[in-house]
Amino acid sequence: MRNEDCRQLFINKGLTYKDINKSKIVKLKELIEIELLEFGKTHTEITMKLMKRGSKGKGCKFNDDGTLNKYFLMVNGSYFSDREAISFNQDGFIGFAGWADSTNVQPMLIAFNKWLEII
């Protein structure tokens, strides 16, 4: 799975940030954590864990009606900290671990895909 595939699935489902609220973000966090645990079982060279807070210095914001404005899910690894897992940027762009190669981004893409199936 590729970053572009997940973005296109989001669009194909007819979703916008107006469809995302805090409870849906919480579900996405849970799915990412599960996928990172699974990933760690077979890719021991990199151990990643989702950070408890949303973002460092970038801010996470919901609109007055409870819908998403922007949100940054960050991840820590065995040799790095505070890197993007999934970002919902204010301009509508959804980012997936821009620092990661095609293998290390997979937990985020898989989690996002599973999330799209249930929201």
Q: What digits encode the pLDDT tens for the residues 85-101?
A: 999 999 999 999 999 99
Q: What is the DSSP secondary structure assignment for residue 58, as one 8-state letter?
A: S
Tokens representing 17 are 């940030």
Better-predicted residue by pLDDT, 82 or 106: 106
- Distance CA(13)–CA(36), nearest Å, equals 25
Alpha carbons 6 and 99: distance in angstroms, whole number: 17
Note the pLDDT tens digit of each residue in 2-46.
999 999 999 999 999 999 999 999 999 999 999 999 998 887 666
Overall pTM > 0.85: yes
pLDDT of residue 10: 98
pLDDT at 55: 47
Query: Residue range 47-52: average pLDDT?
Result: 73
